[in-house]
Amino acid sequence: MKYNVILPTGILAASLLFSGCGQQKNQDADAASAKPAPPAAAETKTAPAADFSASVEQYRTFAVEQCDLFVKETEKFTAAVKAGKLEEAKKLYAPARAYYERIEPVAEALGDLDPNIDARVNDVDAADWRGFHRIEKALWEDKTTAGTEGFADQLLKDAQLLRAKIETIDLDASLMVTGAVELLNEVSSSKVTGEEELYSHTDLYDFAANVEGAQKIYEILKPELAKKDAELEKEIETRFAALQKELNAFKKGDGYVDYTALKQDEIRKLSQNLDALAEPLSNMGKILGV
Amino acid sequence: MPEKHQPSNDDSILKKPMTRRDVLRLAGTGGLGLLLGGGAIGTLLTTENKRKTKAAGSVSTEEDSIPFYGAHQAGIITPAQNFICFAAFDVTASGAPSLKKLFQAWTAAAAAMAAGRPVGEESGNGNLPPTDTGESAGLSPSRLTITFGAGPSLFDDRFGLAAKKPPTFKELPAFNGDQLEPEWCGGDIGVQVCADDMQVAFHAVRNLARIARGKAVLRWVQEGFQRTNQADPSGSTPRNLLGFKDGTANPQVANEKEMNRIVWAQSGDGAPWMAGGSYMAVRRIRMRIEVWDRSTLKDQEETFGRYRSSGAPLGAKNEFDPVDLNAADESGKPYIPRDSHVALARGDGSVQILRRSYSYSGGMDIKTGQLDAGLLFISYQRDLFKQFVPLQQKLAKSDRLNEYILHVGSAAFACFPGAAQGGYIGDTLF
């Protein structure tokens, strides 16, 4: 999980607010080509070779859809928390989060929202800790909804803010490619180790959602990748299938088993299958040209 | 123009000419640490370039031995050796007298090993085990240094030392994102053993642990490495395990005034027994190697704020070009992202520490099957809470690198002043 408290650049911030829809220009690539005498040829970048505007719009539609559902389900979850319905809140927690986890890199690009929604206990100063995991701690560890009403209100507001902002995000194919890898990195860094859901142990819900989010991006870019490197496209497909098969073994009802039910060798196998997928997936950037 | 290697008429390493490689090795491997950035190392190198680089493998035993006794402990401003074996101990003996005895025995053994001699006097009696474990017999001392420090827990009620605890010395606070594992944290006593040969370093830790039996037990041990002189006779800037050159803005160790300001505790600092000693911060920083390996070159370079191949700051040409945080492209976008490691670690340059880090590999993480590797970060400073802590707080909060690293171990030690011949390490305290 990354929390860049400082916004990366003024440009990114501005582009989030004033996005020129349909404009395929890659500002980062422009910036890179303006560097003085780069030491390696690889550091010079040119605009993407293919036109990805249709793919980008397809992904934007997906992200907005997920975000709509995220707000809807978060509303149900926070309502249960505020009504003091402990068991119902616990049931709604992981499924609501899944919509967020599928589009997490997009949310991360929106600055403060990710830590406000998704920070874990020592990711931020204690006084600033809020969002899902703050409520998770109350529900599972303190076994009460009492005292979390304010967090619930804030969370819903943050979810709605994300929904409002997501319309304006300046998406491009490069963000999609790196976003797919970032989704798997999320799994690798915290979900596969059981550190994401410290109290609820619903890590496998997040795991599956992150993978689904990455797979969605892959599916959208697949035709272009097949043109560029059919072998790589096949390899990624096979590895997605292998990981999915591995995950399916832990399905339970509509969701997944508790993380604590996993055996040592099962965790390792999940982790290794994930790395085996993420490595070729990180080469999807080939479609973008040099 | 190369100068002749000047013979030293003084034991102090400060008086010995340092090779360019020494400077770089002293700089350490760790950009993960703090205060990376071109400025100061550039200055250091300008002067060092004039001196002849020592040919690899041509060292004599005398040059290969670093005196154990002196005003300061060796291993702090000593140019970094190739390897480290760090051991933290917990004291099991009760009472100050046995603690004192332990330090006396450790001092004698450490001084012998630093000089390339075995521990103890062998009796030759076939009915007794040898006093030295033997694996360093016939080996050069390999610039072995052994540096001892007391952890905050040594000042509890067990040894009557509570009143002597330096007022500003305590466990490091929690930093954002810390994922500390108890098995890599703390210790009553910390011992940093460094040498140009791993077997020599291991031998020292093993014999110190043997001497301590019944008085102190090992709490954690971590080995570390950096590229050796054999592998890099030219002595270029070392690379960390993320593949980036790690030059540094380490202060100049030859400048006594600077060292007194930045590294050595002074008699007026609140604990007179620590005068000439230094406070050490140790962090075991795991790198998410697999995640890093699938990050794009552009992401990697923007994370560090430097080009990977040349080590130059983004927007500049050469490794030692100054880091200009205000340099921007035509559109006004800064070349070096404000949350990049180099931008944050450099800051305004007002807070300095002496870094002495090593890479480590802990084999495989049994849980995930991934590599357990990273940086054993070590820094020395006059006051932990005025130097290391505020720097680390800033990095922990905003550094782009945090996505790829994980602080899993942490310890702080008050490293004693050096011992004079006839004295022992810790004699100002006990």
Query: Is pLDDT above 60 for B43?
Result: no
3-state secondary structure B248-272: CCCCCCCCHHHHHHHCCCCHHHCCH
Residues of A in contact with B288 (CB under 8 A): 185, 188-189
- Biggest alpha carbon distance in chain A? 62
Query: Is residue A25 within 8 angstroms of chain B, CB to CB?
Result: no
Q: Which CATH superfamily is domain A67-170 in?
A: M75 peptidase, HXXE motif (1.20.1420.20)
Q: DSSP H helical segments within B83-147, as ranges?
A: 96-114
Query: Is pLDDT above 90 for B349?
Result: no
Query: Is residue B122 within 8 angstroms of chain A, CB to CB?
Result: no
| Nearest CB to A39 within list B299, B307, B402 | B307
**In which band, very low, low, confident or very high, does the pLDDT at A189 lie, cut at 50, 70 and 90?**
confident
Residues of A in contact with B291 (CB under 8 A): 185, 188-189
Instruction: Tell if the CB–CB gap between B176 and A122 is shorter than 8 Å.
Output: yes
Give residue limits of the domains in chain B.
18-119+133-153+176-235+242-415
Query: Is pLDDT above 90 for B271?
Result: yes
Neighbours of B267 (CB within 10 A): 11
Q: What is the pLDDT of residues B175-194, one digit of tens each?
A: 998 999 999 999 999 999 99
Instruction: Tell if the CB–CB gap between A2 and B366 is shorter than 8 Å.
Output: no
Q: Name residues whose C-beta falls within 8 Å of residue B294's C-beta, 6 or more positions apart in sequence.
A: A181, A185, A278, A279, A281, A282
Residues of A in contact with B315 (CB under 8 A): 35-36
Instruction: Tell if the CB–CB gap between B400 and A4 is shorter than 8 Å.
Output: yes
Query: Is residue B5 within 8 angstroms of chain A, CB to CB?
Result: no
Joined together, the tokens standing for residue B153 give 């827990």
| Nearest CB to A264 within list B294, B329, B367 | B367
Angle at the Cα of A158 from the Cα atoms of A157 and A159, rounded to 5 degrees: 90
Tally of CA atoms within 13 A in the half-sphere of A21 that contains its CB: 7
What pLDDT is stored for residue B39 in this prediction? 34
State which amino acid sits at residue A119. Answer: A
What pLDDT is stored for residue B28 in this prediction? 42
**In which band, very low, low, confident or very high, does the pLDDT at B245 lie, cut at 50, 70 and 90?**
confident
Q: What is the pLDDT of residues A220-267, one digit of tens each?
A: 999 999 999 999 999 999 999 999 999 999 999 999 999 999 999 999
**Euclidean distance between the first and final Cα of chain A, in Å?**
28
Instruction: Tell if the CB–CB gap between A279 and B294 is shorter than 8 Å.
Output: yes
Percent share of chain B, pLDDT over 70: 85
> What sign results for the dihedral spanned by CA atoms B403, B408, B413, B419?
negative
Interface with chain B: mutation pick from A1, A25, A35, highest number of B CBs within 10 Å: A35
What pLDDT is stored for residue A170 in this prediction? 87
What pLDDT is stored for residue A49 in this prediction? 57
Instruction: Report the C-alpha dihedral over residues A108, A110, A112, A117, rounded to 10 degrees.
Output: -60
Residue with more model confidence, A221 or B20: A221
Say which CATH topology domain A172-290 has.
Answer: A middle domain of Talin 1 (1.20.1420)
CA dist., res. A47 & res. A288, Å (int): 8
Residues of B in contact with A3 (CB under 8 A): 402
ipTM: 0.76
Query: Is residue B310 within 8 angstroms of chain A, CB to CB?
Result: yes
Residues of B in contact with A289 (CB under 8 A): none
Domain with CATH 1.20.1420.20 in chain A: 67-170, 172-290
Q: Name residues whose C-beta falls within 8 Å of residue A55's C-beta, 6 or more positions apart in sequence.
A: A173, A176, A220, A221, A224
Query: How close is the nearest chain B Cα to the Cα of A88, in Å?
Result: 31
Angle at the Cα of A254 from the Cα atoms of A248 and A257, rounded to 5 degrees: 60
Contact residues, A window 59-98, toward B, CB-based 8 Å cutoff:
none
Residue with more model confidence, B12 or A230: A230
